[in-house]
Every structure is written in C-alpha cells, then in structure tokens.
Amino acid sequence: MSKKTPPSTMLLILLSLSICSLSFSQSNSLSLSFPLSLSKKTSSISPFYPSLYSKTSSSGSFKLPVKYSTALVVSLPIGTPPQPTDLVLDTGSQLSWIQCHNKVKRKLAKPKTASFDPSLSSSFSLLPCNHPICKPRIPDFTLPTSCDQNRLCHYSYFYADGTLAEGNLVREKFTISNSLTTPPVILGCAQASTENRGILGMNTGRLSFISQAKISKFSYCVPSRTGSNPTGLFYLGDNPNSSKFKYVTMLTFPKSQRSPNLDPLAYTLPMKGIKIAGKRLNISPAVFKPDPSGSGQTMIDSGSDLTYLADEAYEKVKEEIVRLVGPKMKKGYEFAAVADMCFNAVETAEVGRRIGDMSFEFENGVEILVAKGEGILTEVEKGVKCVGIGRSGRLGIGSNIIGTVHQQNMWVEYDLTNRRIGFGGAECSRLK
C-alpha cells in the first residue's frame, strides 16, 4: 500500500460500530487517562517522562472525559497557554496534525470544532525549509514536503479514504496535565483539509506522537455507540485494569524489509482465523499473514471504523452469512463500494439471532468476540444495517484491518516495550 495513503485513516467510510465485547475481566495498576470520543476519522521506546508516574492523582490515575460518534476523538490541550484541540486517535498513521485557524482575525466566536489558533501560543514555531525533515524522503517518513514562498516547510497528506490535509510543519507543545507538558513535537498545521478535526498519529514511526513524546504504553476503551452520551477512556502509561488483560505478541519487521504492500510501522497481529456461531471458517491461515509482497498483513487500527478483510477471507465470511440468512439480504445493495452483507433494519433482530456470535482468533488463545444478536450488525444509513466488514481489495490493498467497529466495549492496550497488544472486556461508557 502507498505510504501516502495510510489505510488507517478511513475516516469517511462511516459505519456505526457494532457492539463488540471480550469475555475478559478487569483489574488494577497506575496510569494517566484522557476522555475519548468516537466521532467522524517497532522498536522498544523508553518510558514516558518520569513525572507521569509521580504527578498522578491520589487514586493512581489522571482522567479526562471522552465522547463518541463515528471515530475515536480525544481533546488534548496544545500550545502555551493550552488550547483544547480535537484529534482523531489513529494508531495506523505517523504524522500528527491539527486544524489551524486564526480565530481572532476571522472573529469566529464559536468555531465548529476545537481548532487551534497559532497566534495565541507563545510556544508555536514553524519549520523552515532547511530543516532535515523537509526533504523529499527520509527513512520511515515518506511525507511529501516542499518549500513554500515563505521558505517554510509545506506538506500535503493524502489518506486512502480521500481525506486531504495540507499546511506547514511546525513545533508545538502538548499539555498532558497541569504539571506535565511535552517538549515541542513536530506536527502538521493544516490550513486546508477535507476533515474538521486533526489527527493524533500513534503508529511506531519515529515522528509519531508516542515516539516523539517517548510513550512506551497507551490504551483506550471504545464505547458502544448506543446511548445518549457514549464515552470511553484513553490512557498514556500504565492502565489500572491491565492485570486481567489477555496479550498477544505483535509481529515486527526489520527496517531493511521494504515489501511494497507492507506497512512496517503498523501494529501487526498474528491472526489465526474467524468463527461464526462457533464454527471456524475454512480460511487458510496464510490469508492473515504477510506474504513476500506484504499482502495479508493483519493490523489493528483505531483510525479505521470498519474492519476490512482480504478478498479470500471476505468471501468465506459472506458464504457463511448467506448460508445463515441469505434470503434476508438486500439484493444488489453495496455500502460505500466495500460492504454488501446488508439488511433492512426491521430484520435486525431476526438476522442477528440467526448469525449468532462472531470471533476473530489470535495466537495464545486470544479472541475478539463480537456479541450475537444485533451486535453483529451496524447501521450504515437510515433503515439499513450491514455486517461491519468491508473488502480491503476495494481500497487497493490486500491487508486485513481490525477497525473500531470490532473494538467496542473492550480495552486495547499497546505495550511497545514488550511488543504486545492487550485486550480486556469492559463497559467502556460506564468507566469513570
């Protein structure tokens, strides 16, 4: 896949998330947490700044509220003094960028989103053209850059879903808490974008937010979309619930490996198979492992709403869905040119009952269990619900992507020091 079009940020392929849960329990430790909202978008790293562990509250964690609609969104204070800024939490891309608008000059008393005004920050600085980052290609960061008329470093970033962000590369501080601020982080300051929020790039690339801020562990809990105010949590550092998580070791790739279809900076999981209603589908395990070209890579991604499967796996899932509820499927219907296992909403209860549970199986006995009944389906438009899986081949890639549609009601922990991903069941909207 092209690094200019990361599969992670498919923010505009909007499927309301189906309810997903794991049959794991929770427990206790130490952390710093932020509110997450779901709305529309490998190497070992040293621990986050020591003050993360010494400046937490007496309860052992620092928490902020989180909201949710069609992508995971966290509001982080950026600049000096801090300005709350909405960012899509994206574990599948590297560059963080913010929406930059001069609110004072434009007299935007009530901007539609929590965008950032550079003129109000004393710690904001622009990167000049002679900065090492502002070169056509440097290792593991292939962002197209150029020199603008003011001799500043200009970037253009395109995503697989058609999202565009362009502006200048800058340095700015993030305020994690009243007593903890990061050093200046390189990020994009977008003056033109097809989105109304920024991106918090969280993959393993050296210029991602976690790499620059030296964060070795983070986690989030994706709430179900049901309810009037669904919220979840985002932790930087240890998660107090992690003692009961189930862990799977990530697949990592040497820097020298440059297969055309491989994303070496993604969080790659050793997936083994898929079950529907307890039946393991006849899918070759090779479909879920990268071949010499990189196709078949299975990634977990907080920036993709839907789950995507390579064509062979998708066809096997569809074959079983047709066997179970074929007569009830909408004939000739396809959502966003990627998903065609769809039904009229009035059929949801019956269809969900007939399909039953679905689970994604990984090594070490770890599985993501998608609840039976209506949990297997997700609303794509008024009156229509689909199984929350799309064909990755329609995106021009041959990979498998576990999206947030199948991360609901569970903790997902990214432990970079130990190169593992942890999962734990939770009612995310009830977390305090």
Report the distance separating Cα 169 and Cα 213, nearest Å.
17
CA 195 to each of CA 36, 112, 162, 185: distance values in angstroms, whole numbers, following the listed order: 18, 12, 10, 22
CA 267 to each of CA 72, 76, 298, 341, 428: distance values in angstroms, whole numbers, following the listed order: 17, 23, 8, 27, 22
**Residue 60 CA from chain centroid, whole number:** 26
**Residue 348 CA from chain centroid, whole number:** 27
The letter for the amino acid at 382 is: K
Catalytic residue among 301, 305, 340, 415: 301
Q: Which residues pair with 172 in a beta bridge?
A: 185
Question: Does the annotation mark 90 as catalytic?
Answer: yes
Q: Map 8-47 to HEC letters.
A: CCCCCCCCCCCCEECCCCCCCCCCEEEEEEECCCCCCCCC
Catalytic residue among 86, 90, 117, 305: 90
Question: Does the annotation mark 140 as catalytic?
Answer: no
**Residue 399 CA from chain centroid, whole number:** 16
CA 326 to each of CA 274, 343, 352: distance values in angstroms, whole numbers, following the listed order: 19, 10, 13
The answer to whether 160 touches 395, Cβ cutoff 8 Å, is yes
DSSP string, 91-154: TT----EEEB--HHHHT-SS-SS--B-GGG-TT-EEPBTTSTTSSS-BTTB---EEE-TTSBEE
Q: Which two tokens stand for residue 22?
A: 């794991």
DSSP state of 196: S
Indicate the pairing of strand 164-172 with strand 125-126. antiparallel
Contacts of 199 (CB under 8 A, 6+ apart): 9, 41, 87, 88, 90, 93, 95, 96, 97, 165, 303
The letter for the amino acid at 357 is: D
- Could you list the active site residues? 90, 301
